[in-house]
Amino acid sequence: MKRIGIFTSGGDSPGMNACIRAAVRTAVYKGIEIYGIRRGYNGMIKGDIYKMESHSVSNIIQKGGTILRSARSKDFMTKEGRQEAYNQLQKFGIEGLVAIGGDGTFAGANTFYEEFGIPTIGAPGTIDNDLFGTDYTIGYDTAVNTALDAIDKIRDTADSHDRVFFIEVMGRDSGYIAIPCAIGGGAEIVMIPETKTSINEVVETLRSGWSRSKTSFIVIIAEGDDEGNATEVAARVQKELPHMDARVTILGHVQRGGAPTAADRMLASQLGIACIDGLLEGRKNVMAGVINSRLTYTSFTDTITKDKPINPAFLKMVDILSV
């Protein structure tokens, strides 16, 4: 393999740039040519592709977002789109791909390989952490720290009687972000998609806290919780506890940005190297990950289909620590 393409796809996450940098420099180090593909599969179809050198990735390791831009592509979901993408790769002589993204990205790569035989190695670039095949995804540690920093600031404000802060963090399908925010932020309640926490339970916990003369509460809500988002949960709890002073914070895309943490830069750098190494060793359609401090490759199929459940001990911790 003499020429590799690299792209980012799906929602961006902090550390994607560090991963791009590592892959590019590893390629340069090993004498392989590497081409950047802009805006994910869209740019592949349009031929928005350029040669990258060592200096192309100077001074980006600390930057949020992705210099290659990211996008979701409807066209790549059609056979015609993929054919056009293949034609472009042929034009540039690109023989293998590094894809930084999530399971949608990897599913596309799987199909693309079946049809056109172009091998891809993936790196898990998503703040959500819900990808099988790696202990942590690139961007997750940063997102959690960003949310936690916001929660700390809320904690600073003066205690007032009956004040309850409802803080919504990201997590459409999982509580991976919500859980460390709750434990590390000293929250009293956490609501996540994986478990049922009814409005009644929330109301009871608050009532019981007040009866023990606790006067200020933090409730962390993953955006994908069954009971609704933070605004909705706050309104429903308010109805039961009319004297309560509810305050809502929705962090939203704030969690996707910011300079990546040290852990995310290390992980992204390791995986960027592993993507190039993997392609050169002849691997294909696998995601590079780190499990128990060990570099691993997991098939895209496993990554997409297998679950990565949250450690149940962590849920228990919220209860113990808010005693």
Question: Can you spell out the DSSP letters for 199-228?
Answer: HHHHHHHHHHHHHTT--EEEEEEETT-TT-
Member of 44, 94, 118, 150 binding a copy of itself (CB under 8 A): 150
Member of 242, 243, 292, 307 binding a copy of itself (CB under 8 A): 292
Is 164 a binding residue for a copy of itself by CB under 8 A? The answer is no
123 in a known ligand binding site:
no
Task: State the Cα–Cα distance between residues 65 and 100, nearest whole angstrom.
Answer: 12
CB of 117 to a copy of itself, least distance (A): 29
Residue 259, token pair as written in the block: 């300079």
- The footprint of a copy of itself on residues 65-104 (CB under 8 A) is 65-66, 69-71
- The footprint of a copy of itself on residues 99-128 (CB under 8 A) is none
Q: Across-strand partners of 91?
A: none
Catalytically active residues are: 128
CB of 257 to a copy of itself, least distance (A): 3
Smaller CB separation from a copy of itself, 1 or 71: 71
303: Cβ contacts below 8 Å, ≥ 6 apart: 103, 106, 122, 124, 131, 132, 133, 287
Member of 185, 224, 278, 289 binding a copy of itself (CB under 8 A): 185
Task: State the Cα–Cα distance between residues 170 and 81, nearest whole angstrom.
Answer: 31
Smaller CB separation from a copy of itself, 114 or 262: 262
Residue type at 232 in one-letter notation: E
Q: How many residues bind a copy of itself (CB under 8 A)?
A: 77
128 in a known ligand binding site:
yes
3-state secondary structure 15-49: CHHHHHHHHHHHHHHCCCEEEEECCCHHHHHHCCE
Binding mask 233-272 for a copy of itself (x = CB under 8 A): --------------xxxxxxxxxxxxx-xxx-xx--xx--
Q: Of 115, 112, 174, 176, whose CA–CA distance to 147 is shortest?
A: 176
Task: State the Cα–Cα distance between residues 109 and 98, nearest whole angstrom.
Answer: 10
Is 145 a binding residue for a copy of itself by CB under 8 A? The answer is yes
Is 154 a binding residue for a copy of itself by CB under 8 A? The answer is yes
- Show binding-site residues for substrate: 126-128, 163, 170-172, 223, 247, 253-256
